[in-house]
Structure 1
Amino acid sequence: MNETYKPFPQTYLDIQKATLENGFTMASDLSACSFLRTMAGTKPGGNFLELGTGTGLSTAWILDGMDQTSNLTSIDFDDSVLSIAQQFLGTDPRLKLELIDGEKWVEGNREARFDFIFADTWHGKYLMLDEVLEMLSIGGLYIVDDMLPQPNWPEGHAEKAEKFIESLEAFPFLTITKLNWSTGIIVATRRY
């Protein structure tokens, strides 16, 4: 079986070109993006959260999987990459892009609830995990990627990833599946 990702989201190739021109090297893997699109389709009318927009590559795939009654909040602290997402995705009425530090955003939105959380930055993954998981609705999906060793990991990051996985496995209200595929994906659902 060959992996196929087509059709690409309408804006994907333009965002990819702008990402390469920007020099941004932290973009999500194509397989992970395809997975996000498929998982997004399981939450019609859903409230979605992406922590770490980057240039919007994964954002485009999530939007492509969402129905027209869903909404997505996506945050990043780096305007040089978020501006690319704004340029190509900013007219989608389902999307709210926010230029803000992750900790500040989480602290200001503790009462919010989401059906789908893609944690693709430090906050919600290595920092403030408890707070972000409290935002996950019962039956909601929590997804992370880059859990297999990556060439851009700094020294000591492998240990952080192991501790994160141990922490995630300790939450009794989560059911977790670890996929040794793509860049290493973990998907969890909240049971209660």
Structure 2
Amino acid sequence: MDDTPLRTPAALPALRAAARDAGFTMSCDARTGSLLSVLAAARPVGRILELGTGVGEGTAWLLDGMDPDARLVTVELDESVQAVARGELGGDPRVTFVGADGGTWLEEYFSAADEGDAEPFDLVFADTWPGKFTHLERALDLVAPGGTYLIDDLDPQPGWPEGHEASVARLLTELEAREDFRTVRLAWASGLLMAVRTVSRR
């Protein structure tokens, strides 16, 4: 079966061209993007968090699946890279771009949420180290009951630092041992894990 996405976001060609020009190679796989679009479509009026905007390819997929009343917050440390996404997608009122370290943002948002001043998210896509290899607990605590947490790039990738494969193995073991999420590994695209919160947040 050919799993090449038939429907793609209108902004994708421009974002891919900008990524090539910038030498940016960390955008999400198109198949991962198509899954993001479907997960976003499953959440009418949903609240979505993306950690790691990059040039905005994942952002474009999420927006493509979202309904008019859904909202997306996307966080990126490198504002020069995120500027590409802002330029192509910033006119969409459903998305809020945040230029910040993902770990710092998670800590600050978690503190606000703990005090009742910030809402959880129906879908969290962690496409960078914060929220995945660091600050994992903070990201998971922001997933609403019944909400989804998705990570990619779990299969060996060119340029992985020494010892990173062991870090991935530890991450998978930790996620799959949790009693408040149901998880599934997907040997597909760049290697994915999807987790759904099954009980109320602690």
Return the offset for 1:6: 2.4
Choose which of 139, 145, 155 in structure 2 pairs with 1:132: 139
Q: TM-score, normalised by structure 1?
A: 0.98
Write the distance in 1 (CA, Å) between the matches of 2:104 and 2:14. Answer: 31
Write the distance in 1 (CA, Å) between the matches of 2:33 and 2:162. Answer: 26
Segments of 4+ moved more than 6 angstroms: none
Write the distance in 2 (CA, Å) between the matches of 1:77 and 1:162. Answer: 25
- Which residue of structure 1 aligns with residue 171 of structure 2? 164
Return the offset for 1:5: 1.2
Q: TM-score, normalised by structure 2?
A: 0.93
- Which residue of structure 2 aligns with residue 91 of structure 1? 91
- Which residue of structure 2 aligns with residue 32 of structure 1? 32
Write the distance in 2 (CA, Å) between the matches of 1:13 and 1:28. Answer: 14
After TM superposition, the structure 1 = structure 2 runs for residues 175-186 of structure 1, keeping only pairs within 5 Å, are 175-186=182-193
User: Is residue 15 of structure 2 the alignment partner of residue 15 of structure 1?
Assistant: yes
- Which residue of structure 1 aligns with residue 194 of structure 2? 187
Percent of matched pairs sharing the same residue: 39
| CA-atom RMSD in angstroms | 0.8
- Residue identity in the other structure for 1:163: R
Write the distance in 2 (CA, Å) between the matches of 1:23 and 1:9. Answer: 21
- Residue identity in the other structure for 2:17: K
- Which residue of structure 2 aligns with residue 123 of structure 1? 130
- Residue identity in the other structure for 1:67: D
SS of corresponding position for 2:36: helix
Write the distance in 1 (CA, Å) between the matches of 2:54 and 2:27. Answer: 7
- Residue identity in the other structure for 1:60: A
After TM superposition, the structure 1 = structure 2 runs for residues 49-60 of structure 1, keeping only pairs within 5 Å, are 49-60=49-60
Write the distance in 2 (CA, Å) between the matches of 1:43 and 1:149. Answer: 31
- Residue identity in the other structure for 2:33: C
SS of corresponding position for 2:67: coil
Return the offset for 1:27: 1.0
For structure 1, list consecutive stretches of 5 or more residues without a partner in the other structure.
none
- Residue identity in the other structure for 1:45: V
- Which residue of structure 2 aligns with residue 145 of structure 1? 152
Write the distance in 2 (CA, Å) between the matches of 1:39 and 1:161. Answer: 23
Write the distance in 1 (CA, Å) between the matches of 2:154 and 2:191. Answer: 4
Return the offset for 1:170: 1.8
SS of corresponding position for 1:109: helix
For structure 2, list consecutive stretches of 5 or more residues without a partner in the other structure.
114-118
